[in-house]
Every structure is written in structure tokens, then in C-alpha cells.
């Protein structure tokens, strides 16, 4: 697994810690630290033997290195950090390589930065709904949570990645007992074939996906639109 981080953050640290506790996962990370004297981005790389050098520029230097991973997480990285060729390579990583892609954090979705890029259609949600009306219309009748609280959809109650209880009822209770998120990204309705697993409401009344997934080509993609899940 490769995690690309826009800056050091609690969210990413807790995710990496959880992954590192799984003996079946080998986790590499690239964290943007800041600028050097020449105004260039600098990175802190934690990677296995033979892979660190290829990540020193903040992104896998070759397609072969990227395709060596099974999954990539983009954590609070602005879209304009990547070149168009790099975004196309990530799209191919999912569609052709059969890799998994997770995009999380508000900065990753800021100003619809991924709209119009090769990565837009890979993601399970539209990027152009700023008021949250499309999601509300697509879900029909559902009890909406207080601001920034997470509520599961019917699909989320039975999906393996959301199943934290012994059954659907216990899973619902555990999720509803969690504190509210600090914030959530204003992203849109699911694409055809995608599934919203959890959603939240913004202070203005809009309804936004927090967790959504979809198959794409030979791979899968997922978004987490919240902040401070830890």
C-alpha cells in the first residue's frame, strides 16, 4: 500500500498505524514537508528496501514502481500537485492494473480540483454539487443526521468495510454513537454503478457522501470525504 500525504496529519497517522498493525500489509508513505530554499517541495519518505529512491520526488518515478503496489491512498493532496500524466497513470493503475484507490481529506476535493482530470471518472461521486441537493434527491426518504454526524445508508449497513458490529442493528448503533466529524467535503451524488455507504449533513442543510465506493475497470475506488475520523 502506498499513501501520498499532502502534509503531516493526525488523520493519516492513525490510518497508517492501523494498516501497519496488519501483518498482511506492507505500507509505504510519502509526506510533503514543505519547500526548500529553491522553492521546491520536499518529502519525507518511508518505504521498503529498493522503493524509497523512486519515491523521492513525491510520486512513483515509473509506472513499474506504481504498479508494484496493490492500493494507493491520496490523503489531503491538492489536485494541482499532480501532473496530468501522473493522474492518468493513477487512473490506469485502477482500470488496467486492477489497483485500489482511496482519496480522502478536504484538500483532495478542494475547489473541484480533480474535475476535468483523468481521475474524475475513477472516483465514485460527482464533484460538482456544492449545495448537497443531488445526494438528497438520489437517496429518497432517509433520516438525516445532525451536522457532520455520520449516518449509514442501507447499503452501508451491510457492506463489509462498514460492518463494525455483530449485525446490522449493532453496526447502526455503534456508528450513531460516534462523535461528529470536524468537517466534510462538499461532493456530489454517486456515479452510475457506485454506492454511497455513509453520508452527513453540512451546516447549510446540504447532504454529502462521506464514504462511497465503485468498481472501475479491473480495480476499485473509494472516497472518504470527512475530516478528523480519528
Scored b (16 or more CB within 10 A) or e, 181-206 reads: bebbbbbbbbbeebbbbbbbbbeeeb
Question: Residue 58 — left, alpha, or beta (φ > 0 → left; ψ -120 to 50 → alpha)?
Answer: left
Residue 184 pLDDT:
86
Specify whether the CB–CB gap between 108 and 80 falls below 8 A. Answer: no
Query: In the numeric block, which cell numbers belong to residue 190?
Result: 454517486
Residue 133 pLDDT:
56
Residue 89 pLDDT:
97
Query: In the numeric block, which cell numbers belong to residue 203?
Result: 451546516
Of residues 19, 21, 16, the one with CA closest to residue 5: 16
Residue 145 pLDDT:
67
Residues of the chain with pLDDT under 50: none
**Overall pTM surpassing 0.85 (yes/no):** yes
Residue 109 pLDDT:
86
Burial zone of 221 (CB within 10 Å; 0-12 exposed, 13-18 middle, 19+ buried): buried
Residue 203 pLDDT:
74
Residue 208 pLDDT:
85
Condensed to tens digits (0 to 9), the pLDDT of residues 72-103 reads: 999 999 999 999 999 999 999 999 999 999 99
Amino acid at each position: 500500500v502506498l499513501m501520498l500525504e499532502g502534509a503531516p496529519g493526525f488523520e493519516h497517522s492513525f490510518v497508517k498505524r492501523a494498516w501497519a498493525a496488519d501483518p498482511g500489509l506492507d505500507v509505504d508513505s510519502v509526506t510533503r514537508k514543505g519547500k526548500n530554499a529553491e522553492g521546491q517541495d520536499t518529502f519525507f519518505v518511508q518505504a521498503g528496501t529498493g522503493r524509497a529512491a523512486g519515491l523521492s520526488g513525491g510520486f512513483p518515478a515509473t509506472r513499474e514502481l506504481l504498479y508494484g503496489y496493490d492500493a494507493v491512498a491520496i490523503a489531503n493532496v491538492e489536485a494541482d500537485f499532480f501532473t496530468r500524466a501522473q493522474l492518468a497513470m493513477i487512473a490506469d493503475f485502477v482500470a488496467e492494473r486492477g489497483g485500489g484507490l482511496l482519496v480522502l481529506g478536504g484538500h483532495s476535493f478542494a475547489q473541484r480540483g480533480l474535475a476535468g482530470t483523468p481521475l474524475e471518472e475513477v472516483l465514485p461521486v460527482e464533484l460538482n454539487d456544492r449545495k448537497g441537493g443531488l445526494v438528497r434527491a438520489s437517496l429518497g426518504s432517509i433520516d438525516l443526521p445532525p451536522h457532520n454526524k455520520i449516518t449509514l445508508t442501507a447499503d452501508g449497513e451491510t457492506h463489509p468495510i462498514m460492518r463494525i458490529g455483530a449485525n446490522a442493528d449493532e453496526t447502526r448503533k455503534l456508528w450513531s454513537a460516534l462523535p461528529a466529524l470536524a468537517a466534510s467535503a462538499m461532493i456530489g451524488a454517486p456515479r452510475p454503478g457506485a454506492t454511497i455507504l455513509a453520508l452527513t449533513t453540512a451546516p447549510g442543510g446540504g447532504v454529502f457522501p462521506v464514504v462511497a465506493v465503485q468498481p472501475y475497470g479491473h480495480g476499485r475506488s473509494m472516497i472518504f470525504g470527512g475530516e478528523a475520523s480519528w
